[in-house]
Amino acid sequence: MSAHIFEGAKYEPHPVFEGVFVKHFYNGEDTGRLNDFEITIVPGFEIKTHKHENTAEFFYVVSGKGEFLDETEWKPISAGNAMMAPVGMTHAIKNTGEDPLKIFACYSPAIR
């Protein structure tokens, strides 16, 4: 396997949020700057309200429908939407659809 092509990533249950699964790809040790991963949220579940004090988080909705908490306002999201949670911003994501909500995400700087 080339260091430039990542193979074999597997979904793992999120360590905190029930109904959320994460597939990690590259991390801070690989890139020095960011880590990236795929998130799947089962219908009816969510990544609950939280914030990151030292990193920004970026999201791209691959498939499904849901809502993104932008500080204090829930906003609808669907495939093709991109979202950002700057350092210190309160955010959350919930699946409001009937299918899994799949999101590609990354942190910068890396937290992993």
CATH code of residue 40: 2.60.120.10
The answer as to whether 7 is a domain residue is no
Question: Would you place residue 112 in the very low, low, confident or very high pLDDT band (cuts 50, 70, 90)?
Answer: low
Between these two residues, 31 and 25, which has the higher pLDDT value? 25
The answer as to whether 6 is a domain residue is no
**Is residue 60 pLDDT above 60, yes or no?**
yes
- Which range of residues forms the domain containing residue 77? 16-108
pLDDT (tens digit, 9 = 90+) per residue, 28-44? Answer: 777 777 788 899 999 99
Under 8 Å between Cβ of 104 and 36: yes
Other C-beta atoms within 10 Å of 56: how many?
Answer: 16
The reported pLDDT for the residue numbered 1 is: 42
The answer as to whether 100 is a domain residue is yes
Question: Would you place residue 2 in the very low, low, confident or very high pLDDT band (cuts 50, 70, 90)?
Answer: low
| pTM of the shown model | 0.88
